[in-house]
């Protein structure tokens, strides 16, 4: 992989004009600092608020004051197995958890399988936020034990984070949390509730990111927020805000092609650098349609399940899916195009190409595919 660095006055002027005339879209701006910022119509909500239905009308409101109660006894980590599945959550409402009438929280340690009234219990693998952090993105993991038949015998695997997805969380005054739950990736899975082990503490500093009315993610460089469309990158050995369309590494492995067969490649990117993809010397991109299993030099090929951004959208977050075929005891062969999900950042660049901020994958053997 070789770094490419190029900047011209004409290109810089084009980018400035593109940013100035970019249209706004009702998407959710996020930040890599702390608080996520939501839009209500075309207006960004204040930090710590979301666009919620209040008295039948949508407006910016504090989810600490506008939540639903989730008090199912079977969500307790001490409850045994059932076949509950949280496939009713839409990702639109906020919830506060209770057990036996007492406020509680999601478990932030791995929960044994077949607990919480489900088969694959969900727990929070990232720390709960601090009071004053606003609305943050949290990682949820699903614990699963499963067997794999290799033709001669079954081998059992135990993975605390076999399934992964993101939710939003906020720490509230009076020592409780609220959660914006989404539909899990698989059933049977459900969110677990545990006796609180942490209370929302007040951080010493809260560097907030200026709000923006575009869909672009905002990155920080030290204590300075980068302009929209830029990231904190190493340029000539020093970290500074820079355009990843001009500061990227080339990814040109022939085995990433969707026409390439199976191998045991596994991508272990750090999530710090940006990459532009090539095949046979031609610029290419991550496919937007499901790639057959055992392609792209790997077992579980990765494809982009959400559309690429438009020129002028800035840095956006996109979902990557891993396609897996596997044998499940009692069910036979299963074929799932989005068996597990990962988030990456993407930017559309002048010259009709894309750059990607690729992250380490939760499953091996998996790799990012290249194709049209």
Domains of the chain: which residue ranges? 3-26+213-368, 50-194
Backbone angles phi, psi at 201, to 5 degrees: -95, 160
> Strand 154-172 relative to strand 176-180: parallel, antiparallel, unpaired?
antiparallel
pLDDT, residue 325, reads 75
DSSP bridge partners of 54: 57
pLDDT, residue 111, reads 92
Which residue numbers in the chain have pLDDT < 50?
1-33, 197-199, 201-214
**DSSP 8-class letter at 370:** B
pLDDT, residue 314, reads 92
Judge contact between 75 and 191, C-beta under 8 A: yes
pLDDT, residue 83, reads 87
pTM here is 0.48
Judge contact between 190 and 117, C-beta under 8 A: yes
Largest CA distance in the chain: 65
pLDDT, residue 372, reads 66
What lies within 8 Å, CB to CB, of 183 at 6+ separation is 86, 87, 88, 89, 90, 91
Q: Which pair of tokens denotes residue 372?
A: 């049209």
Map tokens 């340029």 to a residue: 235
pLDDT, residue 27, reads 34
> Strand 220-221 relative to strand 224-225: parallel, antiparallel, unpaired?
antiparallel
| Strand extents, DSSP E, 150-299 | 154-172, 176-180, 189-191, 193-194, 220-221, 224-225, 231-235, 238-242, 247-251, 275-279, 282-283
pLDDT, residue 254, reads 93
pLDDT, residue 271, reads 82
Closest CA to 96 of 176, 195, 184: 176
pLDDT, residue 33, reads 41
Map tokens 């057990």 to a residue: 99
Q: Which pair of tokens denotes residue 310?
A: 């438009």
Closest CA to 356 of 235, 278, 282, 274: 274
Backbone angles phi, psi at 195, to 5 degrees: -60, 130
Q: Kindly give the residue spans of alpha helices, DSSP state H, lying in the chain.
A: 9-20
């Amino acid at each position: 992989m070789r770094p490419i660095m190029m900047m011209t006055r004409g290109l810089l002027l084009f980018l400035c004009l593109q940013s100035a005339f970019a249209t706004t879209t009702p998407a959710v701006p996020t930040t890599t600092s702390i608080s996520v910022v939501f839009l209500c119509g075309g207006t960004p909500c204040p930090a710590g608020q979301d666009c919620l239905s209040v008295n039948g009308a949508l407006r910016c409101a504090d989810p600490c004051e506008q939540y639903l109660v989730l008090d199912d006894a079977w969500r307790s980590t001490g409850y045994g197995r059932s076949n509950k599945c949280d496939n009713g959550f839409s990702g639109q409402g906020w919830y506060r958890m209770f057990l036996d009438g007492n406020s509680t929280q999601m478990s932030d340690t791995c929960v044994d399988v077949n607990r919480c009234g489900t088969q694959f219990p969900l727990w929070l693998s990232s720390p709960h936020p601090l009071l004053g952090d606003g609305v943050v993105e949290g990682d949820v993991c699903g614990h699963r034990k499963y067997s794999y038949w290799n033709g001669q015998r079954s081998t059992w695997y135990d993975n605390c984070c076999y399934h992964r997805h993101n939710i939003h969380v906020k720490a509230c005054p009076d020592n409780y949390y609220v959660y914006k739950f989404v539909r899990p990736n698989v059933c049977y899975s459900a969110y677990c509730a545990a006796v609180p082990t942490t209370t929302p503490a007040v951080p010493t500093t809260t560097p907030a990111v200026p709000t923006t009315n575009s869909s672009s993610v905002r990155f920080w460089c030290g204590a300075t927020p980068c302009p929209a469309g830029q990231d904190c990158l190493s340029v000539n050995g020093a970290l500074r805000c820079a355009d990843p369309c001009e500061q990227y590494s080339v990814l040109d492995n022939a085995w990433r092609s969707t026409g390439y067969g199976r191998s045991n490649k596994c991508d272990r990117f750090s999530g710090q650098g940006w990459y532009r993809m090539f095949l046979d010397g031609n610029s290419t991109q991550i496919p937007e349609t499901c790639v057959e299993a055992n392609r792209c030099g790997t077992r579980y090929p990765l494809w982009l399940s959400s559309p690429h951004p438009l020129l002028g959208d800035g840095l956006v977050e996109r979902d990557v899916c891993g396609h897996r075929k596997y044998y499940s005891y009692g069910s036979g062969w299963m074929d799932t195009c989005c068996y597990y999900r990962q988030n990456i950042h993407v930017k559309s660049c002048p010259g009709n190409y894309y750059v990607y901020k690729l992250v380490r994958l939760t499953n091996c053997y998996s790799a990012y595919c290249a194709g049209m």
